[in-house]
Structure formats: C-alpha cells, structure tokens
Amino acid sequence: MNAITDDLLNQLVNEPESNSLDFKKEQYNFIKASDDDKSELLKDIVAFANSFRRDDAFILIGFQEVKGNKATTEGISEDIDDANLQQFVHTKLNKQLEFSYQQRTYKGKKIAIIHIPSQARPFYLKNDYGKLKKGIVYLRRGTSTGQATPEEIALMGVAISNQTQSKPVLEILFNNNQNVINFEVSNFEKLTETDLEEKLNQFKEKFKTVPKPEKKEQNTDDAKDKSSMLNPITSLIPGAMINQFASIFNDIYHSEEKISIYNNYLKGEYDKYEIYLKNYQEYLNSNIGVFEINLQIVNSGIVSADDIDVHIHFPDGFDVVKYISELEKPIEPKEPLSYRNYSIQSLSYDWLPTPFKIPVISDILYTKTPRVEKNITLKEIRKTNSYDVEFIIKKVKHHKSEKLNTLYLIFDNFESVNTFDFEYQINADNLSELVIGKLSVIINKI
C-alpha cells in the first residue's frame, strides 16, 4: 500500500465519519495495554474491514471530528510499531487481513493513519480476546460498530463472489502464514585474518621448535638422565640389553639431524593447524549472521493465477543469496608430539622381539568438506545498492499456495542486524492490476 499523501489527507479531513472513515483524537492504548484496551483497536480494524463500502477505509488518529466542518489536527505523542501491530492483528483472526499503519507529520503535528483496503470478507476472531468474542463478525455501520446479522454476512459472501469470480487474489506470506516473522539474535563476531594469525602464533608458542644443541662432552649424569627416559620400555627388556640400548639412544637423541627432523615435523604440524584455522573460519563465518527466509505465494481467490511474475525488493544493509555453503565443522588436529615422544617413536625397533615393538602413530589429516549448493530455480537476484529478486511461477491454483525458493540474508556484523520491511509486487496474466504488498522481519536482540 502506498503512503498517504497530503492531498488525500486534505480531502479526508473535510469528509464526515462514515463506514469508511473514522477520526480518533487520541492514540489507541496498545503498548503495555490490557487485553480490553487492545481489543478496542482490533475491533475497529476488523469492523472497517467487514464494512460495506466502495472505497478504502481510513482511521485517522490525532484528529478531532467537527460536525459540519473539517476535522481539526490535534496530534499524538505515542507511536505504535507497524510490524508489532500487524503481528497482533494477524494472530487473532481467521485469515490474513490487509492493512497498514503509518506515522507521519501533518500540519506540523505527528499523526497516524490506519489504511484498510477493500478485500475478501468476513473477518472474525479465532478465540475470545479482551471484550471481543470468538466467531462474531463485527461490522462498521455509518458512525457506529456492531455485530453483523446472518443476512449481512451472507451478503459479504455474495460481494466476495462478485469481486473475485474473474480474477485470483494473490499475496506473499512467510511460511508461518503471516506477513511478519520474528528472529531472536544473540551477539556474534566473525573471524578475521588477524584473529587467525593470533591463534596460529599462540599454537607455535605452545609447541616450539627445538634449538640446535651446543657441542660439549657428555658426562655420566647426562647418560643416566637419558637412559631414564627409556624406563617404560627398558623395564621390559632383559638387563643385558639395557646398556646397549641406552648407548644407541644417547648417541642420536641430541643430534642435529634428529632435531632437524623433529623441527620439520613440527613445521608440518603448524601447516596443518593453519589449514584447520582457515577451514574453521570459513565454516564459522558461513553459519553466523545468516537468516533463512522462506516465502509462499497464496491464492485465496476462486480462479487459478497463470504466468505470475513476483518482484521482491530488499533494503540495503545485508546481502541476499540463493544458497549458502553447507560445510561440516572441521575437526581440530591433535596436539603435536613432544620432542621426547617423537624421538622414541621414530627409533627403529626391528631388533626388538615382536611383543616389544611400538606402533607408529599416524598423522591426523584434515580433509575439507566440499560445498553443497542448493538446487534453486530463481530467475534473478540483482544487486544495486540493495537487492531485487524475481520469481517466475507458471500457475497457482485457487485456494492453494506455492512455496518460493529459500533466500538467505547475510549480515556482516551484529550491529547491522535490525528490524526491516521489504516490499513485493505481483503480476499475472489474469490480473487486471499490479498487487503491491509489504512483509516485515522483526529482530529481537538477546
């Protein structure tokens, strides 16, 4: 629905109250109001939606009716959020009621407008709420509101049939059958290259390479210390072989060659950990700040809609894509072996009896999970300063709906995630005019 212009307001304030116009001097009690108070607002919207009229209906808030003269502009101080009001109304009724709530300045004062276009009726509550009763069709008659009679309700059905017999009635809704959807969002931060570099440096600091040994004479105490390292193994070896084994081990334990081999092994572990960090960054960043939007096109008319074009315009502030990467969370590599354990493991034990042989530990390799792309049949996602999305649909049968392809909204950071509206247009071969609507995404930060 389009914004209300000053020209239209100038015309409306000169008209008397009727079954398509009402003036409210003060704002409705809605925010933190009781169910009884909020039901007054709901009753007025429903009654105007059910009224017999040829034009759109308007409730002008912040205006005082003056009999025989134009209404005066009083202004209001409190606002009502359109998305919250939409959700409130739509959860109470038997079906979707199209209306808009707009706040603006007129004659230097803040006012509000509830705009209710003509649409298929009747509307009624699914359950009792406040002062309103389940199943009652409330109706605006002239300047008052009452309950519709069975005859009036029957006439609504006739009017609906006459209005829709030659054309479908189309709208876009979320898959919850509402034009409002809520997301709860907790704080998130995406990993940067600086974060990765810091984590890699911490890993290298924890598992340092071994410095080259200084040339010096080996004394008896050193030999005893090194020999003691073999206790878990040598305790199982006959005593006659211990001295020979210790001598072999001592000769190579501190050799430059052995240290160089270990340091090369450690550098390989650094490389593996760096690969892991990059894969983890890709996994994490592709799964946070992403919102899945599932839409449907609904035909509530009594004829099918054919050859339909749907255009959706999203505001700027985020990216819109038709698929996201589906990556499994990478497994963090095991910690590298210490120099001592690596040296023991890498010795050749072919000369030991089979029961004493030590199994070699295999390297833990990380394999990147390939991307899986969703098979989506969108015609186009076009990026300008914002995004425009186009769907082509061959047919939507009467009283049926068709699910549109999933869209993904990607936000760069937590601060940029906020409540927003987006607009759509529907055209079809058997529609005489363009259908224009709006959907709302409510973000609750926790």
Could you read off the pLDDT of 363-393 as tens digits, one per residue? 333 334 444 333 234 678 888 888 999 999 9
Percent of the chain with pLDDT over 70: 77
Q: Domain containing 430 — which CATH number? A: 2.60.40.1510
User: Mean pLDDT, to the nearest integer, of 205-210?
Assistant: 88
Kindly state whether residue 361 falls inside one of the protein's structural domains: no
User: Mean pLDDT, to the nearest integer, of 29-46?
Assistant: 95
| Shared-domain flag, residues 295 and 223 | no
| Shared-domain flag, residues 218 and 124 | no
Q: Domain containing 80 — which CATH number? A: 3.30.950
Kindly state whether residue 205 falls inside one of the protein's structural domains: yes
229 pLDDT above the threshold of 60: no
Among 56-65, 279-288, 298-307, 408-417, the minimum mean pLDDT is found in: 279-288
- Parent domain of 294: 184-189+288-327+370-445
More confident residue, 426 or 222: 426
Enclosing H/E stretch for 180: strand 180-185
158 pLDDT above the threshold of 70: no
Question: Which pLDDT value is given to residue 372?
Answer: 39
* Angle, in degrees to the nearest 10, between helices 239-253 and 220-228: 110
Question: Which pLDDT value is given to residue 376?
Answer: 30
Rounded (10°) CA dihedral 162, 163, 165, 169: -150
Question: Which pLDDT value is given to residue 221?
Answer: 54
Question: Which pLDDT value is given to residue 374?
Answer: 36
| Shared-domain flag, residues 254 and 142 | no
Token output for 420? 């927003």
- The count of other CB atoms within 10 Å of the CB of residue 222 is 14
| Shared-domain flag, residues 143 and 214 | no
Token output for 345? 């493991």
Question: Which pLDDT value is given to residue 373?
Answer: 39
Kindly state whether residue 179 falls inside one of the protein's structural domains: no
Kindly state whether residue 386 falls inside one of the protein's structural domains: yes
Percent of the chain with pLDDT over 90: 37
| Shared-domain flag, residues 120 and 140 | yes
Kindly state whether residue 215 falls inside one of the protein's structural domains: yes
| Shared-domain flag, residues 201 and 315 | no
Among 87-101, 183-197, 251-265, 337-351, the minimum mean pLDDT is found in: 337-351
| Shared-domain flag, residues 159 and 102 | yes
Question: Which pLDDT value is given to residue 349?
Answer: 47
Domain count, the chain: 3
Q: Which of 63, 94, 61 is nearest to 300 (CA)?
A: 94
| Shared-domain flag, residues 63 and 160 | yes
Q: Which of 58, 73, 72 is nearest to 21 (CA)?
A: 58
Residue with tokens 């008397």: 16
Question: Which pLDDT value is given to residue 354?
Answer: 45
Kindly state whether residue 397 falls inside one of the protein's structural domains: yes
| Shared-domain flag, residues 323 and 335 | no
Tell me the pLDDT tens digit for each residue of 82-100: 999 999 999 999 998 999 9
Residue with tokens 């919102």: 291
215 pLDDT above the threshold of 70: no
Token output for 375? 């098979």
